[in-house]
A = this chain, B = another copy of it.
Amino acid sequence: MSVTAPLGFRAAGIAAGIKSGDARDLALVVNDGPSRAAAGVFTANRVKAAPVLWSQQVLAGGRVRAVVLNSGGANACTGPLGFQDTHATAEKAAAALDDSAGEIAVCSTGLIGERLPIDALLAGVDVATAQLSRDGGLAAADAIRTTDTVSKISFKRGEGGYMVGGMAKGAGMLAPALATMLCVITTDADVTAEQLDAVLRRATRVTFDRLDSDGCMSTNDTVLLLASGASGVVPDLAEFEKKITEVCADLARQLLVDAEGATKAIAVEVVGAASEEDAVTVGRTVSRSNLLKCAIHGEDPNWGRVLSAVGTTDAVFEPDRLNVAINGVWICRGGAAGDDRSKVDLRPRNVTITVDLSAGPHSATVHTTDLTAAYVHENSAYSS
């Protein structure tokens, strides 16, 4: 299923020899139309990888015929030669598909600062083109994995029978805006590029943008949304946005669960905020407290570390009106100790930290993970 669940899409995932060993490392997703409407959102990092710079230009046209994705190398911080490699990749796919390079998006993930083995990659594009099929979605999702322990896929059926499918990769650096992640979402609904753009921005803002596993932001993050129109269904836009948001939320949840070295999935739910922006700011700040993330790892309901983090923000609140619950137990009330902390059960993998700012009606939830020795080990040993 994955990106080939909707009509009009073919995909492939192959081992091109970009990674050492024989793991899959190259994916190709092709939109056979009739429409090629597309939208994308990209990392906010000012240091952008070559494929991001390229694909931003492609998406500016609102049309995408195909996406070439590789793991095994990010092609970031590689200078003008790195950009030429991305350009050559798009030209190669265009030639293989007898199409225009200006409608070929490129995504890369892996180690920063090293050139890609471009000969292997270009040869791989031909192999992948030859293997394109209507059931290639799973192989494509597999080919984009780096430290991901599992492939991430999702699909939903919309009203009137159109389909939405998606694949993603990412297992660390899940930070705003967007994780170290690549994500391709496809649909056979008939939707214009402008509509896709508006829907995708709103959907990512409340899903991928609210993941924050370690506060780090990648040079390569990309989310693409491609529409073939092959179902012939013109969806109700509100219903379509809901479906796209559901697929994004499902993929985001899978990314979080697979975050490097994590043993807890923590939802930081901020309520009583004066604005949604305040709620997101507080949620993000609490999510980034290494001390708190260690405490949750140790199953210690250390609400003092929550308040310490909240206090560093410029959100509207009074310190003596802050309330904090962990897994439903209000252990901090009015900025001081509340209910008995021994009532908090932190053994389950899912942890909810609720912060009540007592300052208004707005709320938001940011998702993070605990900080573990395994995270340190993985990120000390793996040059990524």
A residues whose Cβ falls under 8 Å from a Cβ of B = 44-48, 74, 76-79, 81-82, 111-114, 172-173, 214-219, 288-291, 294-295, 297-298, 300, 302-305, 307-313, 317, 319-320, 322, 332, 334-337, 371-373, 375-381, 383-384
Contacts and interface: CB of A to CB of B under 8 A. Distances in A.
A375 B294 contact: yes
A337 B289 contact: no
Contact of A290 (B48, B290, B332): B290
A215 B288 contact: yes
B373 A48 contact: no
Given A216-B291, A308-B218, A335-B79, A377 B373 contact: yes
28 contacts: A44-B312, A46-B310, A46-B311, A48-B311, A77-B303, A77-B304, A77-B319, A77-B337, A79-B320, A79-B334, A79-B335, A82-B336, A112-B305, A112-B308, A113-B304, A113-B332, A113-B337, A173-B291, A215-B288, A217-B308, A217-B312, A219-B311, A294-B379, A298-B381, A371-B376, A372-B376, A373-B373, A375-B376
Nearest to A314: B46
Nearest to A112: B304
Given A307-B219, A337-B114, A47 B289 contact: no
A171 to B, nearest CB: 12
Nearest to A309: B216
A290 B303 CA distance: 22
A290 B74 CA distance: 19
A78 B303 CA distance: 12
A290 B215 contact: yes
A47 B303 CA distance: 12
A322 to B, nearest CB: 8
A45 B291 contact: no
A302 B381 CA distance: 11
A309 to B, nearest CB: 7
B79 A219 contact: no
Nearest to A44: B312
Given A304-B111, A337-B114, A77 B376 contact: no
Given A308-B218, A376-B297, A379-B295, A336 B45 contact: no
A309 B45 CA distance: 8
B218 A79 contact: no
Given A79-B336, A311-B217, A295 B383 contact: yes
A181 B334 CA distance: 25
Contacts of A320: 79
A283 to B, nearest CB: 16
Given A172-B291, A300-B380, 5 more contacts: A47-B319, A76-B307, A113-B304, A214-B291, A217-B312
A310 B47 contact: yes
A319 B308 CA distance: 34
Contacts of A313: 46
Given A82-B336, A336-B82, A308 B47 contact: yes
The 9 closest A-B pairs by CB, nearest first: A112-B304, A298-B380, A47-B311, A294-B379, A79-B336, A373-B373, A45-B311, A113-B304, A46-B311
Given A111-B304, A319-B47, A332 B77 contact: yes
A101 B378 CA distance: 53
Contacts of A375: 290, 294, 376
Contact of A380 (B79, B216, B288, B295): B295
